[in-house]
């Protein structure tokens, strides 16, 4: 179960022009901000047809009959298909986590429902026709007769014996149960002087990428091309090959420009398979693009955990153990990896603290909702949230400063093997907290807070010190014989110097906003004595470059960037040997200076990369035994995960009359190793904070008791805008990871993992004089106001940890109301 040891990677001295570490502007931005980028929905192919999907209005029902006659007769309609028509599919949508020794219940999940539906929005038929809007109208004419079945949406109720069963074949709604223990947890609680316990609801959220999902499939001469707004083109190709029963080399998957994913496009959705199947059947290209409501209904959701946490400690604050029981709402069917997500909570259960014993017990549950799967952070935001809020509760119980409690328990020695077998690679947890406090000046804030309170203004500060696991990851740890993921977790790269000296770098990663074209070009440029603008980085097309494992889990730099660096170093090494041969010098004496390969200290004895390429591609005088060409590949499988960390502080002001929360200051100090491009890191941190602020304050996917999605549009699902957040104060420390030669760790999810407990804790700190000790996210004005009323003994607001609260609240018309919604300002 444990990760393999962190074999120290030797860090190479960077040769060349020192572009690594510079905040270069993103190479990809000019086309993005001038509207010249091509997204899937922009594409039009000759003879292209459009698909519209008929979706279930019922959360749980048997399909009695589907009558497509009328729909087929609508103008422009070429075909209408149902689940029965797709009987020739070789396999349902796969779920790729098969944990060894665990009974995992995986219902067949077909692109079009067969016999029954388990969630509102489940696809039951597809209409294909010539007109984009005509097919939507025609879909209204598909008549489906449903026999409704009892619905269950609350995961804890779904586990009760009296609950309706969603998949009769299993006789239970339990998806799986497994534990990740480490050390003697029960002993740890026996030895503890103090035990704090909490129940924390980490509610359901949406990825909410601005570009909705979109697919365009084309068959030509026995070959399939799928253009898809996906994070995982290579993985998608493997899965399509299995589902469609087509040999993999006949399939090309292209991720054109992808307008954000945030995990929600780390998926192979039924619509991807369906478009390919329809295109093959009809012999015409078929496009489908989700409407925003379809996106909210049927693009996987995230979080949706109920967490029961216990932390034990001695009187002096030294923690003795942590135990978490996680109830994960999986929705009614799986997509590719949903059930594994809470395992990532378990990986970081120790946080940055030296818990001698840890244990996570996870139970996955079917409910009549859509699938949950990876959304930015995937399991680690949930864990940070429950660890940090429980540490705050422990500090309260011990009457100790919460930062002092953290400092007493920080891990200080690295590499550090945690009780459950994971090895933290490197860290300096005091360092990031110190830096955060340098920015904050806590004493000054406390004085200001006291003065403001005198005037009835409630400001508070909250902290989050976190560690995360990313850089997925060692195949030995994650693969079939490790956790049971059915795949490898290496990354691939190819660095090709063309005969003229131009350079193309192919990466198996598939960026969709992270800026790999820039940062990877910086890495290659330094190794080949070039400037990044002449290094072209190609990604997202299974027909170019080697097989890759794509972008998620903040893996691209630590695994894909390392692969690129290694491939570039292989090119550099060959170039050195060619130059040494031509200059009659030793390869070790060739250095990169002034953009050339030169004999050390002899600027006159130098060759440009173009000259080296000329020698390599017109091989008349190469060293004996050397092959022609200058083109190198690397498949890099890391020896360990990487473990970024940091300290965040949030200051909020709460209007005690209305419950409105404003974020006044936000300070983020993160450590993701040496920066390749500091501006890209800042961008990732900014976006990551806003993502988690959204969850903490505004966003919630809400289903009513009948399984109807109530938050189906951006009117009901409130995303924060730039106007709702302050200007963030970011800083970094740089502690290299010994896992890779770049020393880097991931940063794409770090801020999302860190942020939410700092926000909640700051609101509790603000309202402490009013007696508020806890509030569950999202901290909508209604919830905060109710918490104040309850603490003041005026009425019964929903206590923290009550799952039902969101639904009741929504029923009263408050949940999901956005930061700018007029309905939320006033108290009821
Ligand atoms: N970086 C760097 N130096 C470091 C660390 C990182 O310059 N020491 C840079 C990298 O070169 C890269 C960027 O930071 O350009 C992010 O790198 P990394 O942490 O490796 O993350 P990934 O590229 O693998 O991105 C995945 C991550 C995830 S899991 C989600 S979810 C997410 C995220 O990135 N979704 C995003 N950031 C997003 N940003 C945008 N704009 N859109 C999304 O959908």
Residue 516 Cα to ligand 1 middle (Å): 8
Question: Counting atoms of ligand 1 from 1, which one is nearest the CA of 376?
Answer: 31
Q: pLDDT tens digits for 216-270?
A: 999 999 999 999 999 999 999 999 999 999 999 999 999 999 999 999 999 999 9
Beta bridge partners of 417: 423
Question: Counting atoms of ligand 1 from 1, which one is nearest the CA of 265?
Answer: 44
- Which of 425, 748, 749, 753 has most ligand 1 atoms within 8 Å of its beta carbon, as the pocket-test mutant? 748
Nearest residue (by CA) to ligand 1, atom 16, is 748
* Chain Cα centroid distance, residue 335: 15
Residue 235 Cα to ligand 1 middle (Å): 19
pTM confidence score: 0.94
Nearest residue (by CA) to ligand 1, atom 40, is 513
Residue stretches of the chain with pLDDT short of 70: 1-17, 795-828
Distance CA 153, CA 704 (A): 8
Question: Counting atoms of ligand 1 from 1, which one is nearest the CA of 557?
Answer: 20
User: Is 78 exposed, middle or buried (CB count within 10 Å of its CB: 0-12, 13-18, 19+)?
Assistant: middle
For residue 295 the two structure tokens come to 């996106």
Q: Which residues lie below 8 Å from residue 467, measured CB to CB, with a gap of 6+?
A: 348, 350, 351, 352, 424, 427, 429, 643, 644, 645
* pLDDT score at 814: 35
> Coil, strand or helix: which one is 564?
helix
The values of phi and psi at residue 761, to 5°, are -65, -35
Distance CA 129, CA 72 (A): 9
Pocket of ligand 1 (CB under 6 A): 260-263, 376, 511-516, 519, 551-558, 561, 672-677, 680-681, 684, 687, 744, 746-749
Nearest residue (by CA) to ligand 1, atom 37, is 748
Residue 747 Cα to ligand 1 middle (Å): 6
Residue 512 Cα to ligand 1 middle (Å): 9
Residue 25 Cα to ligand 1 middle (Å): 15
The values of phi and psi at residue 296, to 5°, are -70, -35
* pLDDT score at 794: 80
Is the bond into 783 cis (omega within 30 degrees of 0)? no
Nearest residue (by CA) to ligand 1, atom 32, is 262
User: Is 184 exposed, middle or buried (CB count within 10 Å of its CB: 0-12, 13-18, 19+)?
Assistant: middle
* pLDDT score at 8: 42
């Amino acid at each position: 179960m444990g990760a393999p040891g962190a074999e120290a990677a030797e860090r190479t001295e960077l040769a060349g022009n020192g572009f690594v570490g510079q905040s270069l502007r993103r190479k990809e931005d000019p086309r993005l901000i001038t509207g010249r980028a091509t997204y899937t929905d922009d594409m039009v192919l000759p003879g292209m047809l459009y698909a519209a999907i008929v979706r279930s209005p019922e959360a749980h029902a048997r399909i009695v009959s589907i009558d497509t006659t009328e729909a087929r007769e609508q103008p422009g309609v070429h075909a209408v298909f149902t689940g029965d028509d797709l009987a020739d599919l070789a396999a349902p949508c796969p779920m790729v986590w098969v944990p060894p020794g665990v009974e995992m219940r995986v219902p067949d999940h077909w692109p079009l429902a067969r016999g029954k539906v388990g969630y509102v929005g489940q696809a039951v038929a597809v209409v294909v026709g010539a007109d984009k809007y005509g097919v939507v109208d025609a879909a209204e004419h598909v008549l489906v007769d449903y026999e409704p079945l009892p619905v269950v949406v609350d995961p804890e109720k779904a586990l009760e014996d009296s609950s309706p069963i969603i998949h009769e074949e299993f006789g239970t709604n339990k998806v799986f149960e497994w534990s990740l223990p480490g050390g003697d947890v029960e002993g740890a609680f026996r030895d503890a002087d103090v035990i704090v316990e909490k129940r924390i609801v980490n509610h359901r959220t949406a990825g909410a990428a601005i570009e909705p999902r979109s697919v365009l499939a084309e068959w030509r001469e026995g070959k399939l091309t799928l253009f898809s707004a996906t994070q995982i083109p290579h993985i998608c190709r493997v899965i399509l090959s299995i589902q469609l029963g087509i040999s993999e080399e006949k399939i090309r998957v292209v991720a054109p420009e992808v307008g954000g994913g945030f995990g929600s496009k780390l998926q192979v959705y039924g619509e991807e398979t369906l478009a390919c199947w329809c295109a093959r059947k009809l012999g015409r290209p078929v496009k489908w693009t989700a409407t925003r409501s379809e996106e909210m209904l049927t693009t996987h959701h995230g979080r949706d955990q109920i967490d029961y946490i216990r932390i034990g400690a001695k009187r002096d604050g030294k923690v003795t153990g942590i135990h978490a029981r996680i109830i994960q709402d999986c929705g009614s069917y799986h997509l590719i990896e949903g059930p594994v997500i809470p395992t990532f909570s378990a990986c970081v259960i120790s946080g940055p603290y030296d818990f001698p014993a840890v244990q996570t017990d996870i139970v996955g549950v079917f409910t009549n909702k859509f699938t949950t799967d990876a959304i930015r952070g995937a399991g680690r935001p949930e864990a940070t949230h429950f660890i940090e809020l429980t540490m705050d509760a422990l500090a309260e119980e011990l009457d100790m400063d919460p930062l002092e409690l953290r400092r007493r328990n920080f891990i200080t020695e690295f590499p550090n093997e945690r009780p459950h077998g994971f090895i933290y690679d490197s860290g300096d947890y005091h360092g990031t907290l110190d830096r955060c406090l340098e920015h904050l000046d806590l004493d000054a804030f406390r004085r200001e807070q006291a003065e403001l309170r005198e005037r009835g203004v409630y400001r508070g500060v909250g902290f989050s010190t976190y560690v995360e696991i990313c850089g997925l990851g060692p195949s030995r740890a994650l693969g079939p014989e490790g956790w049971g993921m059915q795949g490898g977790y290496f990354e691939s790269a190819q660095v090709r110097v063309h005969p003229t000296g131009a350079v193309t770098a192919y990466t198996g990663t598939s960026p969709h906003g992270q800026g790999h074209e820039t940062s990877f070009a910086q890495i290659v440029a330094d190794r080949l004595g070039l400037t990044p603008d002449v290094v072209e980085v190609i990604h997202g097309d299974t027909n170019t470059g080697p097989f890759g494992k794509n972008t998620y889990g903040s893996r691209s730099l630590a695994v894909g960037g390392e692969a690129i660096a290694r491939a570039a170093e292989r090119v550099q090494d060959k170039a050195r040997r060619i130059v040494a041969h031509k200059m009659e010098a030793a390869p070790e004496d060739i250095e990169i200076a002034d953009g050339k390969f030169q004999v050390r200290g002899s600027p006159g004895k130098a060759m440009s990369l173009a000259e080296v390429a000329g020698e390599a591609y017109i091989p008349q005088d190469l060293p004996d035994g050397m092959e022609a060409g200058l083109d190198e590949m690397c498949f890099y499988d890391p020896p360990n995960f990487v473990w970024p960390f940091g300290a965040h502080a949030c200051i909020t002001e709460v209007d005690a009359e209305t419950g409105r929360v404003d974020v006044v200051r936000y300070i983020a100090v993160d450590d993701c190793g040496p920066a390749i491009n500091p501006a890209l890191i800042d961008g990732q941190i900014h976006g990551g904070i806003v993502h988690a602020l959204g969850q903490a304050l505004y966003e919630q996917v809400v289903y009513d008791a009948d399984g109807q999605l109530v938050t189906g549009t951006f009117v009901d699902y409130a995303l924060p805008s730039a106007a709702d957040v302050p200007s963030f104060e970011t800083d970094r420390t740089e502690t290299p990871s010994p896992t890779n030669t770049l020393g880097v760790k991931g940063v794409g999810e770090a801020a999302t993992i860190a942020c939410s407990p700092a926000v909640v804790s700051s609101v509790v700190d603000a309202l402490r004089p009013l007696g508020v000790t806890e509030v569950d996210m999202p901290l909508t004005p209604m919830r905060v106001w109710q918490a104040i009323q309850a603490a003041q003994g005026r009425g019964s607001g929903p206590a923290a940890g009550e799952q039902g609260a969101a639904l009741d609240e929504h029923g009263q018309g408050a949940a999901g109301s956005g930061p700018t919604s007029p309905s939320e300002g006033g108290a009821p």
